Amino acid sequence: MRRRTLLASLAATPLAATAARAAGTIKAVATFTILADLVRQVGTNHVAVTSLVPPDGDAHVYQPRPADLRAIAQAQLLVENGLGLEGWMQRMGAAASFHGVRVVAAEKVTPRTMTEDGKVATDPHAWQDPRNGVLYVQAIAAGLAAADPDHAEAYRDTGTRYAAEISKLDTWIAAQFAPIPPAQRRIITTHDAFGYYGARYGIELLAAEGLSTEAEPSAKSIATLVAQIKREKVRAVFLENMTDPRIAHMLASESGAVLGGTVYSDALSPPNGPAATYLAMLRHNTTLFVRAMTAT
């Protein structure tokens, strides 16, 4: 009887899904490491998560590999950011063979726009505002519940608890910046990844590159930025883990600003690094920004 039931379910379910159920886990693919961590935090041991873009990788210009397409085809859940970040998913037809539950994590976010070269562009880096992180977690928890109804309640509970942790960290970050006079709250980064973070905590941001890393900054835009750093007495230039460090080094040496260290914008660090999780990333970035703003 048991065998017959198993055979019947084999006939009705794709093989990959059956194998996953047998192991007690579902397979999820996230486009980059920050989303993969959110899925891992909410899914705990019910989910095996793969990130397409690796730690310290650049989610703007990624080229999916054949192994990525196989992972997507076998997954029950696919989580992407949206807001135009992963243009390569569409260009590569990466999700053509995916038949599971698809989550656009930023779906409920109010997008920021910026004018770049006279054109209005949507800023995809919504996760840098922890209040958006909460919206991401809610979308992911709902997606997990849909992909794996057996554990729906666990995903909802864990999601609620984890969202509360994110909100608590948001309050902590706001408290770190509160004593710093607004004129000192200025940051230079290599690409414009901290717009949501800056809007949340009242920080003015300048960057060498735009919202994406697809175009290298021109000599003219670098010269303009150096002049601005000097004029506005910006103290520190930050390296980003996933962009070319030469840009930040050049900005610092030409403007006289100090290098404030490496912050994590679009990718987590490897597991043994200082930003191995979403919460660790927010804490690490905040600590470095505050240190540079308050250095005497």
Residues that bind Zn ion in the complex, under the rule CB under 5 A: 193, 266
By beta-carbon proximity to Zn ion, the closer residue of 193 and 268 is 193
Task: Please report how close the Cβ of residue 23 comes to Zn ion at its closest, in angstroms.
Answer: 35
Q: In terms of Cα–Cα distance, which of 177, 227, 222, 226 is closest to 202?
A: 177
Nearer to Zn ion, 32 or 201 (CB): 32
Q: Which is nearer to Zn ion, 26 or 193 (CB)?
A: 193
> Distance between CA 44 and CA 53 in Å, rounded?
21
The CA distance from 275 to 283, in Å, is: 8
User: Are the C-beta atoms of residues 76 and 26 closer than 8 Å to each other?
Assistant: yes
DSSP H helices, the chain, are 2-12, 15-22, 33-43, 66-74, 87-91, 130-147, 152-177, 195-201, 219-231, 245-255, 278-294
Q: Least distance in Å: CB of 78 to Zn ion?
A: 20
**What are the residues whose beta carbons fall under 8 Å from the beta carbon of 30, sequence distance 6 or more?**
36, 38, 39, 49, 50, 51, 52, 78, 79, 80
Closer CB to Zn ion, 58 or 68, in the complex: 58
- Selection from 227, 278, 234 nearest residue 259 by Cα: 234
Nearest-approach distance from CB 173 to Zn ion, in angstroms: 20
Report in angstroms how near the CB of residue 213 gets to Zn ion at its nearest. 6
Judge residue 102's burial from the number of C-beta atoms within 10 Å of its C-beta, 0-12 exposed, 13-18 middle, 19 or more buried. middle
Task: Give whichever of 225 and 267 is closer to Zn ion, judged by the CB atom.
Answer: 267
Supply the minimum distance, in Å, between the C-beta of residue 123 and Zn ion.
9
Instruction: For residue 285, give the amino acid letter.
Output: N
**Nearest distance from C-beta of residue 27 to Zn ion, angstroms:** 27
Report the greatest alpha carbon distance in the chain. 80
Identify the residue whose tokens are 């996760």: 127
Q: Which is nearer to Zn ion, 17 or 203 (CB)?
A: 203
Nearer to Zn ion, 153 or 214 (CB): 214
The nearest distance, CB 214 to Zn ion, in angstroms, is 10
